Amino acid sequence: MTTPCILCVAITGSLPTKENNPAVPITIAEQIESTQEAFEAGASIAHCHVRDDAGKPTADPERFAALKEGLEKHCPGLIVQLSTGGRSGAGQARGGMLPLRPDMASLSVGSNNFPTRVYENPPDLVDWLASEMLAHDVKPEIEAFDLSHIVQATRMAADGRLKGPLYVQFVMGVKNAMPADEPIFDFYIETLKRLAPDAQWCAAGIGAAQHTINDWAIRKGGHTRT
Amino acid sequence: MTTPCILCVAITGSLPTKENNPAVPITIAEQIESTQEAFEAGASIAHCHVRDDAGKPTADPERFAALKEGLEKHCPGLIVQLSTGGRSGAGQARGGMLPLRPDMASLSVGSNNFPTRVYENPPDLVDWLASEMLAHDVKPEIEAFDLSHIVQATRMAADGRLKGPLYVQFVMGVKNAMPADEPIFDFYIETLKRLAPDAQWCAAGIGAAQHTINDWAIRKGGHTRT
Ligand SMILES: [Zn+2]
Ligand SMILES: [Zn+2]
Ligand SMILES: [Zn+2]
Ligand SMILES: [Zn+2]
């Protein structure tokens, strides 16, 4: 490993519900408690989604504010990353929490297929989210579901829409998007380093790909997410 | 060059209008005439869009039938490829011409960003278009706007949703999708050959990228499109 490993923990993705996994933390209090455990075990970044009272994904800035406040209190030094992903809201509502100035926020810069639908990140929304992150000094984690997303991030950094150095997460294992494929994983790293030499990267494997991707990320010098 | 070069001509893309380029052939008669010229100059595949009376892109099967009939009469041996692209129609209307049993039809197997919007190819529509191509014995040309589209095509061929050998077109130079980038072009070829050794490929450069991409395609053994 050539760079220090940052262990990144995802608290409550946008998909699981209490019904399919009773262990998933849903309330803000549960989320803070489970993150604190991960933090004490060495996690340094928390990637955060929030839910409404019915347990549905939401981008409600008040929920995010409560989670952020609790994490800052109970996990001092933890990097808090709020999700601007598409399941929690539509259009600019996805970025309504950015004025809270979290340390980081996730940012998708392209569109791709998901298992049963199109994950839509239209160019004008991408640019608006990026401009909000610049305005509120929030560091983006670029979610790269495909190779062009990595290239697009480097173009946005080059023309000033994003502030460098880039931090890119390679996402693999999503049906109908990119599977866990080692030559492609290696080419992701190579392309990112070629187009943005100072960039850093991490990787997330979805579902069955999780263990494989963590393995590759650790071996190849990236950060991992659990 | 290791494979014979197939020169592919695109007649009337979905974007140009008479207003921005009076030389663009729009009526069926104009399209047949200009394709015949390209055919006599050596083109072997014609990638076809059609327009309605107002000059707007359409997927109207009757228009496609008239064009196909004219091309078959005036350009015997020319491979006719009809577009199922998203500008001509929405949903299953995009595949309404497949029962005409053209030699080929274009097929996008993933989604991506275009200059001002999301190019939407939801998974269920992709599978339906592929099944129509199987049912009517139409050979698809896979339009690969990103790396995962190449991978997805090889998965669809492996599980029988597409009939092999694959024929894949790499599309570069579309703003917000993949730019013309030579290491990525080489990796496209390498990945396609690794995952589907019997596949063939061609390449199209959009706008300013056209010349560069034709150059690479000829040098690296693919087919080109003008
Ligand atoms: Zn991460
Ligand atoms: Zn997320
Ligand atoms: Zn072609
Ligand atoms: Zn076309």
Q: State both tokens at B216.
A: 């690479």
State the smallest CA–CA distance between residue B30 and chain A in angstroms: 35
* pLDDT at site A22: 62
CATH number at B7-225: 3.20.20.70
Residues of B with CB under 8 A from a CB of A: 110-124, 126, 145-148, 151-152, 155, 176-179, 181, 183-184, 187, 190-191, 194
pLDDT single digits (tens) A153-175: 999 999 999 999 999 999 999 99
Per the structure block, which two tokens stand in for B156? 């669809």
State how far Cα B198 lies from the chain centre. Answer: 19
Q: Which two tokens stand for residue A90?
A: 């539509």
Whether A122 and B115 lie within 8 Å, measured CB to CB: no
Which residues have CB under 8 Å from B107's CB, separation 6+? B84, B126, B129, B130, B133, B140, B141, B142, B143
Cα–ligand 2 centroid distance for B56 (angstroms): 40
Give residue A107's identity as a one-letter amino acid code: L
Distance B8 CA to ligand 2 centre (A): 42
- Ligand 1 centroid distance, CA of A167 (Å): 9
CA–centroid distance, B100 to ligand 4, in Å, is 18
* Confidence at residue B94, expressed as pLDDT on a 0 to 100 scale: 97
What pLDDT score was predicted for residue B168?
Answer: 97
Place of tokens 């608290």: A11
Amino acid at A32: I
pLDDT tens for A188-226 read: 999 999 999 999 999 999 989 999 999 999 999 887 665
Instruction: List, in order, residues 6 or more apart from A115 with CB less than 8 Å away.
Output: A174, A175, A176, B123
- Geometric angle at alpha carbon B213, from B210 and B217, rounded to 5°: 135
Confidence class for position A5, pLDDT limits 50, 70, 90: very low
Cis amide prior to B165 (ω within 30 degrees): yes
Residue B104: enclosing H or E segment and its boundaries? strand B104-107
The number of C-beta contacts closer than 8 angstroms across A and B is 99
Tens digit of each residue's pLDDT, chain B (226 residues): 233 345 666 766 655 556 666 666 778 888 898 899 889 888 889 999 998 888 888 999 999 999 999 999 999 999 999 999 988 888 999 999 999 999 999 999 999 999 999 999 999 999 999 999 999 999 999 999 999 999 999 999 999 999 999 999 999 999 999 999 999 999 999 999 999 999 999 999 998 999 999 999 999 988 766 5
In B, minimum Cα distance to A110 occurs at: B113
ipTM for the predicted complex comes to: 0.91
Helix axes B28-40, B61-74, angle to 10 degrees: 40
> Which residue ranges make up each domain of chain B?
7-225
Rg over alpha carbons for chain B, rounded to the nearest Å, is 16
- Which among A148, A176, A191 is the nearest to B146, CB-wise? A148
- pLDDT at B2 (0 to 100): 31
> CB–CB of A51/A12 below 8 Å?
yes
Q: How many CA atoms lie within 13 A of A220 on its CB side?
A: 23
Q: Residue B113 and residue A117: Cβ atoms within 8 Å?
A: no
Strands (E), A59-111: 79-82, 104-107
